[in-house]
Structure 1
Amino acid sequence: QDIEYWLTYSNQLREHPELGKRAAKGYKALFYGPPGTGKTLTASLLGKSADRPVFLVDLSMIVSKYIGETEKNLANIFKKAEDKGWILFFDEADALFSKRTENESSNDRYANQEVA
């Protein structure tokens, strides 16, 4: 039900004569929580509701040890997703979007969730 509301509201916003011009293209969502809470399932249901394929991003294919390569790989995947109408799903995104390297404390885990 929440996904349905989100899709409907977003579409209505884009159709508004003035607000639609300023609304960013595409949908953005952050799902967070401990394992087993339905983040992947929610992304799949969102794709089904929007009639769009959900593409699971394999971080091992994106992250590079070479300077600038990770950014280039991300730009390529976003461009391809836009061209094909994919919904991108970054599982364990804190590994990609965070500057922190270890999750030794609850504060680090919380910070990683906020950054991701």
Structure 2
Amino acid sequence: MRKFEVTAVTGTATATAYSPYLSGYIESIEYVKDGSIPYADGVDFTITSEATGESILALTDQNASVVKRPRAATHSVAGVAAVYASGGTAVNDRIALSRDRVKVAIAQGGNGKSGKFIITVDDGR
């Protein structure tokens, strides 16, 4: 497992920040609320893969630090959604990235505010 930290500082209530290039399965993403100049309550985060734009995590109206373990829906070889039973719950699995960066977009964060995101990746080492 490896951890990558991304700090995003808002200009006019928005910001975009990127992780270093990484490869592996996303295990978790932790938002750490800054102790001095935190984002405004109700901040929104949109976290995606830079290369493909694949959605990794989208959180709205956040007020506190949080840890999330995002997963994506899977599909059969025919491209049909994989479910546990006919018409049942989707089968989810970890999100994989290959030499890609995680893009963190902030909205409604307040001006000149800061937050940190810790991305934990299982890189198979």
Q: Where is the helix percentage greater, Structure 1 or Structure 2?
A: 1
Structure having greater relative contact order (Cα 8 Å, sep ≥ 6): 2
What's the TM-score, normalizing by structure 1?
A: 0.28
TM-score, normalised via structure 2 length: 0.27
Structure with the higher strand share, 1 or 2: 2
